[in-house]
A and B are shown apart, each in its own frame.
Chain A
Amino acid sequence: MAYTWRRLSKDPLALVGMATIAAISIAALSAPWIAPFDPREQFFDGLTLEGAPLPPDEMFFLGTDLLGRDLFSRLLYGARTSLVIGVVANGAAVAVGTLLGIVAGYVQGWVGAAIMRFTDLMMAFPALLLAIALAAIFTPSLWIVAMVIALVNWVQIARVIYTETTALAAREYIEAARALGAAWPRILFLHILPHLIPTILVWATLGIATTVLLEATLSFLGIGVQPPTPSWGGIIFESQSYFLSAPWLVFFPGIAIMVMALAFNLVGDALRDALDPTQRGR
């Protein structure tokens, strides 16, 4: 671990990524103290007489949205939505994917085959269409959106874990443990799982980027987290009709989404390099 950390700390891109994640997390946690306004308050003078949003000025640092709310405050609170869904949805996807991947890879036989055929099936689903259909079935709340994303995202993780587990299970020391009569849960959790931790860590990080993007996309289509909960994708959905005259309403949240996804991608990629000895130098 210390070795990994040393390698990470030498990678400037990873450092930038980690600093960004830290900054966003701090901003999200301290939003109630640093946000100038309540993100839900619709100011009567936050709109022009024609109903147009206000451009950035001294009162509203980044301007107002189409309901006369302070955009900066909404962006700060929106970070919470992205982070919570990113961590929860991806955590669930990693947990489900790891569990199914390990079981399929270790047990093999018809159970393993059934699980893997099911992942094949899920891979053939157009992911976004599936997410849209699921969002239509369950009225989307924060947790439902997280669940929908987890249901779509676990598949790839399951496949990666499956491949690695299969390779590990064939190794001699596992065979030895089995020959010694170790129970299979013991083998799975004591002998196989620890070796999968690097892979899981990498996916737990990279997956957050994918999750943040998927959440933003669902919100952009109007089927994400329910309003008035601030969400970056949702701000863009609501502002689209003013896109040409007030492009900042689209670009500020757009940049926020990109920066967060980029930060997790950079750290995840650096982690992969740092954890994988064969990848050294790539």
Chain B
Amino acid sequence: MKPSPIERIIGLAMSAAVLMSPAVAAEEAKRGGSIVVSYKDDIATLDPAIGYDWQNPSMMQLIGDGLMGYKMGTTDLVPDLAESFTISEDGLTYSFALRKGVKFHNGRELKSADVKYTFERLVNPETQSPGQGYYAVIEGFDEMVSGADGLSGVTTPDDYTVIIKLTRPNAVFLNVLAMHFSSIVPKEEVEKYGADWGRNPVGTGAYKITEWTLGQRIVFERNPDYQHGTGPENVPYLDKITWEVGQDPSVALLRLKKGEVDILGDGIPPAQFVEAVENPEFNERGMIVENPMIQTSYVTMNVRIPPFDNVLVRKAVNMAINKDRIVRLINNRAVPATQPLPPNMPGHDGSYEGYAYDPAKAKELLAEAGFPDGFETELWSMNTDPNPRIAQAIQQDLAQVGIKAELHSVASSVVIAAGGEAEQAPMIWSGGMAWISDYPDPSGFYWSILGCGGAVPGGWNWAWYCNEDVEVKAAKADAMADPALAQERVDLWRSIYLEIMEDAPWVPLFHSRYFTMRSARMAGDAVLYVSPTYIPMHYEYLHAKDAQ
């Protein structure tokens, strides 16, 4: 084992950080104040092992902390509950020295046993955590899943040391430790509340939950004992954050204009989008915030269903779809995509142009593949607006080159089930179910949705694409855990995605830009409101101009 100073880990800091806007000028930001965030849907749960949607990850990250975190507004990993850590030379053993004196909201000090409990709880099948698979690299995972009592790979030599042993080197393991799933939870509280633990969360985080009225509001207040923040001294800034749920987005916008709401949690409603972003007053007062999401929407072509088993057909489809027009259909709230990785992700190749829109060339390729008159197929999509519209635009583009696609516009759960069957859905438009990366690493777009492991019944690799050569390279890239190899690893991932584009199992359509609105009293950079690492918002750094 060799010591790995924090600076070296920051070497992992990816080029994406450069694209992110610089941090808020800390001297301007004052502590204090309270804000109101609106949401339409109820917050599902605040159990960090369970919650996994658009609304709750960053809320759970306020309540709890993991061993690792991210530097504000960047994708740089920094230790959080860990004071320092070392990685063994073979990349298999991680040792964490915990901060001393960190207290849970119930007053008890955090000890290494809590870390072990948290990971065992995540892996324990009874927890039913949707994040369980991320911890499969830890030694003893398989045994625990099949009934063993504990997770042998996590050991606690003393109260402030945690050692985690992996079965294979994994370059993204530190990212996994920064995910909300890894927030450390106190056993006594989890057991006290049982099934209702998700409504009574306790952690070590910067905020405590003080009120939860189902269907109405959740209130968080600052934890006065919180001292281990990874940012400037006076972070978090706000004293109180209130989420009001059951708020229709258009009502929320009106209330925001009146000053009753500070942030639209669901973004700008489509009905008022054009009007809002063109409103000079909103723009002048900096009320519109916009940032690209680490997200890609795509059309999958099931390589096991003819004629999509023919790469020429898949390339032809790539050339047949007019991405610019589709982006226009959704009011330019996206940028056209050329490859699976979005531009703000390390490994994205800015010089790669992908398959340009060229229906004539597409027809040639189809003829070459033996389909001069096209063929008939099915295109599945989720049935909420705008997805059926986008699917119809795709359908018309396909018709131009002779491909007659019948639409199946159904509930998302039905699309997901169809995609997980080997020979059911020839084409799927991923919109509404699309991939938002769990952590800012290029591997996030491969394993489940393009890798062989996802091409199984019930999996999420709806293209059923499995290229052994690519799979070997991907495994190699993710084994490059040594921070010194970070750049080499990113380069490898870049070549992997370009190789995948040669096989063309997807038509990458666009990367969404997220637009939301804040009241004029809110300050801070757009990146706080559309954070790449704290989904959707980095609440700890939000602050109000009028704070005293």
Partners in one complex: yes
Q: Verify if A244 is at the interface (C-beta below 8 Å from B).
A: yes
Asked if A40 contacts B411 (CB within 8 A), the reply is no
Asked if A238 contacts B385 (CB within 8 A), the reply is yes
Q: Verify if B468 is at the interface (C-beta below 8 Å from A).
A: no
Asked if A67 contacts B271 (CB within 8 A), the reply is no
Asked if B329 contacts A241 (CB within 8 A), the reply is no
Against A, the Cβ 8 Å flags (1 = close, 0 = not) of B324-351 are 0100111110000000000000000000
Asked if B407 contacts A52 (CB within 8 A), the reply is no
Interface secondary structure of B, over-half rule: helix
A-B pair count, CB < 8 Å, reads 74
Q: Do A139 and B408 contact each other (CB < 8 Å), given the known contacts A44-B325, A47-B328, A245-B275?
A: yes
Asked if A42 contacts B385 (CB within 8 A), the reply is no
Looking at chain A, what size class is its interface with the partner chain? 20 to 34
Q: Verify if B484 is at the interface (C-beta below 8 Å from A).
A: no
Complex-state Cα separation, A222 to B406, whole angstroms: 16
Q: Verify if A240 is at the interface (C-beta below 8 Å from B).
A: yes
Asked if B407 contacts A227 (CB within 8 A), the reply is yes
Q: Verify if A242 is at the interface (C-beta below 8 Å from B).
A: yes
Residues of chain A within 8 A of B411, CB atoms compared:
136, 223
Q: Verify if B386 is at the interface (C-beta below 8 Å from A).
A: yes
Q: Verify if B66 is at the interface (C-beta below 8 Å from A).
A: no
Asked if A228 contacts B407 (CB within 8 A), the reply is yes
Nearest chain-A residue to B387 (Cβ)? A222
Asked if A49 contacts B328 (CB within 8 A), the reply is yes
Asked if B409 contacts A67 (CB within 8 A), the reply is no
Residues of chain B within 8 A of A67, CB atoms compared:
329, 389, 392-393
Q: Do A222 and B392 contact each other (CB < 8 Å), given the known contacts A44-B325, A51-B330?
A: no
Q: Verify if A237 is at the interface (C-beta below 8 Å from B).
A: yes
Nearest chain-A residue to B327 (Cβ)? A51
Q: How far is the CB of A130 from chain B (nearest CB, A)?
A: 16
Complex-state Cα separation, A136 to B414, whole angstroms: 8
Q: Verify if A184 is at the interface (C-beta below 8 Å from B).
A: no
Residues of B136-176 whose CB lies within 8 A of A: none
Asked if A222 contacts B393 (CB within 8 A), the reply is no
Nearest chain-B residue to A226 (Cβ)? B407
Q: Verify if A243 is at the interface (C-beta below 8 Å from B).
A: yes
Asked if B395 contacts A237 (CB within 8 A), the reply is no
Residues of chain B within 8 A of A244, CB atoms compared:
271-272, 275
Residues of chain A within 8 A of B385, CB atoms compared:
222, 237-238, 240-241
Asked if A136 contacts B410 (CB within 8 A), the reply is yes
Q: Verify if A50 is at the interface (C-beta below 8 Å from B).
A: yes
Asked if A222 contacts B275 (CB within 8 A), the reply is no
Complex-state Cα separation, A139 to B380, whole angstroms: 10
Q: Verify if A66 is at the interface (C-beta below 8 Å from B).
A: yes
Asked if A227 contacts B391 (CB within 8 A), the reply is yes
Contact of B392 among A52, A223, A227 (CB under 8 A): A227
Complex-state Cα separation, A51 to B390, whole angstroms: 12
Against A, the Cβ 8 Å flags (1 = close, 0 = not) of B407-447 are 11111001000000000000000000000000000000000
Residues of chain B within 8 A of A245, CB atoms compared:
271, 274-275
Q: Verify if B128 is at the interface (C-beta below 8 Å from A).
A: no
Residues of chain A within 8 A of B271, CB atoms compared:
240-245
Number of interface residues of B (CB under 8 A): 31
Contact of B329 among A51, A136, A240 (CB under 8 A): A51
Asked if A227 contacts B393 (CB within 8 A), the reply is no
Q: How far is the CB of A43 from chain B (nearest CB, A)?
A: 10
Residues of B233-289 whose CB lies within 8 A of A: 269-275
Asked if B414 contacts A226 (CB within 8 A), the reply is no
Asked if B332 contacts A50 (CB within 8 A), the reply is yes
Complex-state Cα separation, A47 to B331, whole angstroms: 10
Residues of chain B within 8 A of A228, CB atoms compared:
392, 395, 407
Asked if B388 contacts A227 (CB within 8 A), the reply is yes
Nearest chain-A residue to B269 (Cβ)? A241
Asked if B270 contacts A241 (CB within 8 A), the reply is yes
Q: Verify if B384 is at the interface (C-beta below 8 Å from A).
A: yes
Q: Verify if B383 is at the interface (C-beta below 8 Å from A).
A: yes
Nearest chain-B residue to A241 (Cβ)? B270
Against B, the Cβ 8 Å flags (1 = close, 0 = not) of A224-254 are 0011100000000110111111000000000
Complex-state Cα separation, A18 to B329, whole angstroms: 41
Complex-state Cα separation, A49 to B327, whole angstroms: 10
Complex-state Cα separation, A230 to B103, whole angstroms: 61
Residues of chain B within 8 A of A223, CB atoms compared:
383, 411
Residues of chain B within 8 A of A241, CB atoms compared:
269-271, 273, 385-386
Nearest chain-A residue to B275 (Cβ)? A245
Q: Do A40 and B396 contact each other (CB < 8 Å), given the known contacts A47-B329, A50-B274, A66-B329?
A: yes
Q: How far is the CB of B415 from chain A (nearest CB, A)?
A: 10
Against B, the Cβ 8 Å flags (1 = close, 0 = not) of A204-230 are 000000000000000000110011100
Residues of chain B within 8 A of A52, CB atoms compared:
274, 331
Complex-state Cα separation, A242 to B275, whole angstroms: 10
Asked if B409 contacts A51 (CB within 8 A), the reply is no
Q: How far is the CB of A250 from chain B (nearest CB, A)?
A: 11
Complex-state Cα separation, A242 to B329, whole angstroms: 12
Could you list some 23 contacts between A and B, CB below 8 A? A40-B396, A42-B392, A42-B393, A50-B274, A50-B332, A51-B331, A52-B274, A52-B331, A67-B393, A136-B410, A136-B411, A139-B408, A222-B384, A226-B409, A228-B395, A228-B407, A238-B389, A241-B271, A241-B386, A242-B270, A243-B271, A244-B272, A245-B271
Give 3 closest A-B pairs by Cβ, nearest first.
Answer: A241-B270, A222-B383, A51-B328
Chain B: residues with CB nearer than 8 A to chain A?
269-275, 325, 328-332, 383-386, 388-389, 391-393, 395-396, 406-411, 414
Kindly list 8 other residue pairs between chains A and B, CB separation below 8 angstroms, not including A227-B409, A244-B272, A245-B271.
A42-B393, A51-B328, A52-B331, A222-B383, A222-B388, A223-B383, A223-B411, A244-B271
